[in-house]
Structure 1
């Protein structure tokens, strides 16, 4: 199973590159056929490793990442994830008790990581937790304390403000960034490549919205807009989220909800801007590819399948409530080379 996470950064395409390194842990309960625990590491939108409790092994997802870690990295992290799986099973039970729930489908997630602007040197970090897709608790780096948006998280905040918050801040502002720089160095060719998007205009039938579909591009940041007679059109336009393809590239769509007679009176153009080259202009004519079920438009279908997994496995604003290991110490640069590259970031007290 290929699980990808898109870490979306709202910057203009011409701005400096913002590198990102994030970990996502997902615990599930009551979903038949779906793993109870999943761990994914993402660097600049690329999935670099993967673990789930069915596989019982952490595996590399990019060839270049093998050179960035030591020989025991995969075995060590596999053991870490086996332990994390058990913590997540326990924490789902704790969360259900706090929310007075019994049975049903539930998810406990954690998403944490760091960012580095290679132009300005500015850095940032985040540590977010959620339960059933809703915000549960998060770390505020400025105050070095946790923010509990729901009453059920107050006890978690009380137990973790102080030493745990300090440890997490140290990890996010130091160790995480050290690993991010290392990954960017080893994965430079792959992470900095630029692949031009393929653009098509799709329509199910003459009365349905026209979809401007861009696919196969890398990196993930792209701008898609519709123009009416050369002027940007904001109303009657629905821009979708960027979705992953199975080959590591991305896709995105923008729908034009305009009556067919209106489309005949004016010239409508889809404009796709990506750092791989000049903007692409697709003028709306009567010749539109169909995305009717059964026809050969594989890119959009594949992306929606992967996106369905993403919706299950990666919910931004996520939660994990685990017992903090006692006797921790701040991680030095030499320790970072032997730890789990983020997988061992300090867990929370339940």
Structure 2
């Protein structure tokens, strides 16, 4: 469940032409069957770090990450995350009290980080969640906290007063986070290089099912749409973005149509590895017999008809002679052929 939740957060809100650094913290009530505290760091869509209360240390998840950072880095990050672990345990108890919870499994989460867009502009975000719903988020430009739940007003008032923390949080999101993101992108440049998708757009034999397949792409952020006369078809179906064995991804989008539909059908794909959107049109002749094959068949039919007619005429003529020449024997013949990290506070 936690893995799917992290994946859903990871796949949302990141533009195709940017680099991002994001951290996910998850605290869970005891005896839930999972570690009470876990963190994961991501550059774009590559996980670079992992910490859990069971292991008790921050660990690299990529070889280039391990090679680019020395022992002091991992020791410092471990100490910071051990402090966060204690804070999250306290926040779970506070949140349970304020939401009148006395038992059960509950989660307290944080997602923060920054992003560099193609035009050079940057963004930063810091938000908290409780049991899978929004709890409170930081508006760095105004240095205030926003909460959508009534019981979050206590936390908002407390954190809004902590100007030193808010100033430090703003500085981290706008400067420190961006600096580290640039370092990580440079260290993992060869691994983080975008790989464009290979795209095919085909119809089933009966012409009712259209399938647009994009495969072999990295990163996994991609937009695949099927269009009818230039307008997006909303009734399409997809099983989502699936991993390939060579650290790339694939996605198939399908739609059902009428075989007699004369509209122009196309597939449009947008991805960071493409200089511009790729558009493939469905070849209406792809499911029909090519004209040259039809022409050859017609010629062969005519030749066979002529041969049969000649043979019939020959047999009739031969029959006339056989009556007066009983010793006639036709000659026997044979014809043989051959044939693809940031700080946090208690609530």
TM-score with structure 2 setting the length: 0.68
TM-fit CA distance, 1:281: 3.7
Higher helix share: 2
Q: Which of 249, 269, 273 is the equivalent residue of 1:276?
A: 273
For 1:75, what is the secondary structure of its paired residue?
helix
Could you tell me how far apart the structure 1 residues matched to 2:87 and 2:246 are?
32
Please tell me whether residue 214 in structure 1 is matched to residue 214 in structure 2. yes
2:27–2:89: 8 Å Cα contact kept in structure 1? yes
TM-fit CA distance, 1:164: 1.7
Q: Cα 1:26–1:250, aligned 2, differ >3 Å: closer, same or farther?
A: farther
Partner of 2:136: 137
TM-fit CA distance, 1:269: 4.6
Partner of 1:125: 124
TM-fit CA distance, 1:160: 1.3
Could you tell me how far apart the structure 2 residues matched to 1:248 and 1:225 are?
23
For 1:72, what is the secondary structure of its paired residue?
helix
1:256-289 C-alpha deviation (Å, 9 max, x unpaired): 2x36xx24645755443434358374859999xx
Q: Which runs of 5+ in 1 are unaligned?
A: 288-341
Partner of 2:46: 46
TM-fit CA distance, 1:179: 0.5
Could you tell me how far apart the structure 2 residues matched to 1:61 and 1:201 are?
38
Q: Cα 1:244–1:138, aligned 2, differ >3 Å: closer, same or farther?
A: farther
Partner of 2:346: 349
Partner of 1:333: none
Q: Cα 1:53–1:182, aligned 2, differ >3 Å: closer, same or farther?
A: same
1:60-139 to structure 2, matched below 5 A, reads: 60-117=60-117, 119-139=118-138
1:165-222 C-alpha deviation (Å, 9 max, x unpaired): 111101111111111111112112221242434668799xx9x986645344102332
1:312-335 C-alpha deviation (Å, 9 max, x unpaired): xxxxxxxxxxxxxxxxxxxxxxxx
Q: Cα 1:255–1:83, aligned 2, differ >3 Å: closer, same or farther?
A: farther
Could you tell me how far apart the structure 2 residues matched to 1:282 and 1:30 are?
55
TM-score with structure 1 setting the length: 0.68
Could you tell me how far apart the structure 2 residues matched to 1:65 and 1:72 are?
14
Partner of 2:37: 37
Could you tell me how far apart the structure 1 residues matched to 2:154 and 2:98 are?
10
Could you tell me how far apart the structure 2 residues matched to 1:29 and 1:264 are?
58
1:145-177 C-alpha deviation (Å, 9 max, x unpaired): 111221211111111112221111011111111
Q: Cα 1:274–1:126, aligned 2, differ >3 Å: closer, same or farther?
A: closer
Q: Cα 1:221–1:66, aligned 2, differ >3 Å: closer, same or farther?
A: same
Structure of higher CA gyration radius: 2
For 2:71, what is the secondary structure of its paired residue?
coil
The number of residue pairs the alignment matches comes to: 282
Could you tell me how far apart the structure 2 residues matched to 1:37 and 1:7 are?
22
Could you tell me how far apart the structure 2 residues matched to 1:131 and 1:147 are?
14
TM-fit CA distance, 1:253: 4.4
Q: Cα 1:348–1:199, aligned 2, differ >3 Å: closer, same or farther?
A: farther
Could you tell me how far apart the structure 2 residues matched to 1:24 and 1:115 are?
15
Q: Cα 1:58–1:247, aligned 2, differ >3 Å: closer, same or farther?
A: farther
Could you tell me how far apart the structure 2 residues matched to 1:243 and 1:157 are?
39
Decide which moves more: 26-35 or 135-144. 26-35
2:88–2:346: 8 Å Cα contact kept in structure 1? no
Please tell me whether residue 160 in structure 1 is matched to residue 164 in structure 2. no
Could you tell me how far apart the structure 2 residues matched to 1:193 and 1:231 are?
27
